[in-house]
Amino acid sequence: MSKSVKKKVAVAMSGGVDSSVAAAMMVEKGYDVIGLTMQLYDSGRTTSVGSKTCCAGQDIYDAKRVSDKLGIKHYTLDYEKRFQESVMQDFADSYAEGITPIPCIRCNQKMKFKDLLNTSLDLGAEFLVTGHYANIKGEGENIGLYRAKDLTKDQSYFLFATPQKILKYICFPLGELSKADTRNYAKRMNLSISDKPESQDICFVQSTAKKGYREIVQKLRPDISKSGNIIHVNGRIIGKHNGIDSFTVGQRRGLGVISEDGTPLYVTKIEANNNSVFVGSEQDMEIRNFNIAEISWLENKPLDKVEGIIADVQLSSEHITQKASVSYLDSDNLLVNLHEANYRVAPGQACVIYKNDRILGGGWISGGLSE
């Protein structure tokens, strides 16, 4: 009798506990597992043991060590140039346009579930496994992306731009686990990274860097670090700034200006074309309507039939949603009408649309902001 052939899967291994446990789970389930680690940026300027980065230096070493422990093949893929062009440059260009980017979503969209997925399939894998806390449910036309069981760790917000047609090639084995479950699993398997700290929000920005993200932005877009006016919403110039890349909409601290009556000031708008930063009171930040662009639609209902859908929308990485009505504008834009005002709507952030725990779609907050 011929021996049955194991199904091959590829696991995206960042060197952290989540992706390591995802790999271990697939090994325990009997798959032929290969580990793939993307080297995304210069490891020479990062990382040490206990660092909170991923995909460089120590993290690649940790992924290799876990792979050896599990007895699986491991490959490191040099995606540094592609990452700089697709993610880091987009990050810097966004600040140059006066908007606040989310590089983790761009990385998932342009790197992990595009380049890495294609490499996985080329290597003969049936699907790509990652350590995201999210769920994929259903089959065929009904396949969909859902929140994780542990809503405090849910990462579906960062995955909204994943096309529905490729969901069948992706697996999220941690979707039903809590973080504590994951760490306990790693300890049971005697994985060396069981207590490793979680990666920070932006992997390529060192938490110890003096200038933080500005160091990256200024290197890639030195042209935007020039002085300009800080203008109150009433039209009065109340100060100067040293570059719009120091500001994001909703920012309160570090503005370098104060109001006449002591009322806290917030960044309400950034106009890149004239290098101006506008500030006002919290009330001046009230938003009820806005457009979203670059739509990713994961629901069977045709996008042009979307009219007044009542749904929950998430507008930032914080696990907070609010009710809204969503309507079709054109093939690349939706109108979102919030049922209650929001005071932290920032251009460049993602708006993800949920119906219960399922993602209907989402897009990037782009314009049309109004009270």
The model's pLDDT over 273-324, given as tens digits with 9 standing for 90+, comes to: 999 999 999 999 999 999 999 999 999 888 888 888 999 999 998 989 999 9
Q: What is the DSSP code string of 100-121?
A: ---HHHHHIIIIIIIIIHHHHH
List of residues 6+ apart from 28 with CB closer than 8 A: none
The model's pLDDT over 150-162, given as tens digits with 9 standing for 90+, comes to: 999 999 999 999 9
Q: What is the DSSP code string of 330-362?
A: ETTEEEEEEEEEES---TTSEEEEEETTEEEEE
What is the reported pLDDT for 208?
A: 47
Q: What is the DSSP code string of 203-222?
A: TTS-TT-SSTHHHHHHHH-G
pLDDT class for 203, splitting at 50, 70, 90? Answer: confident
CA–CA separation, 291 vs 191, rounded Å? 46
Q: Specify whether the backbone of 217 is left (phi greater than 0), alpha (psi in -120 to 50) or beta.
A: alpha
CA–CA separation, 199 vs 163, rounded Å? 25
Query: What domains does the chain contain, in order, with CATH numbers?
Result: 8-188 (3.40.50.620), 226-284 (2.30.30.280), 286-370 (2.40.30.10)
The model's pLDDT over 327-368, given as tens digits with 9 standing for 90+, comes to: 999 988 999 999 999 999 999 999 999 999 999 999 999 977
CA–CA separation, 206 vs 188, rounded Å? 31
What is the reported pLDDT for 198?
A: 81
CA atoms within 13 A on the CB side of 7: 9
Mean pLDDT, residues 261-276: 94
List of residues 6+ apart from 215 with CB closer than 8 A: 205, 209
Q: Which helix H or strand E contains 328, and what residues bound it?
A: strand 321-330
CA–CA separation, 45 vs 30, rounded Å? 38
What's the CA angle centered on 311, arms 307 and 317, to 5 degrees? Answer: 125
Extended strands (E) in 79-202: 128-129, 134-137, 144-147, 170-171
The model's pLDDT over 57-106, given as tens digits with 9 standing for 90+, comes to: 788 999 999 999 999 999 999 999 999 999 999 999 999 999 999 999 99
Assess whether pLDDT exceeds 50 at residue 1.
Answer: no
* Active-site amino acid positions: 107, 203
pTM over 0.75: yes
What is the reported pLDDT for 206?
A: 66
Nearest CA-CA partner of 129 in 27, 240, 270: 27
% of the chain exceeding 70 in pLDDT: 92
What is the reported pLDDT for 207?
A: 55
CA–CA separation, 39 vs 92, rounded Å? 20
Assess whether pLDDT exceeds 90 at residue 370.
Answer: no
CA–CA separation, 332 vs 148, rounded Å? 28
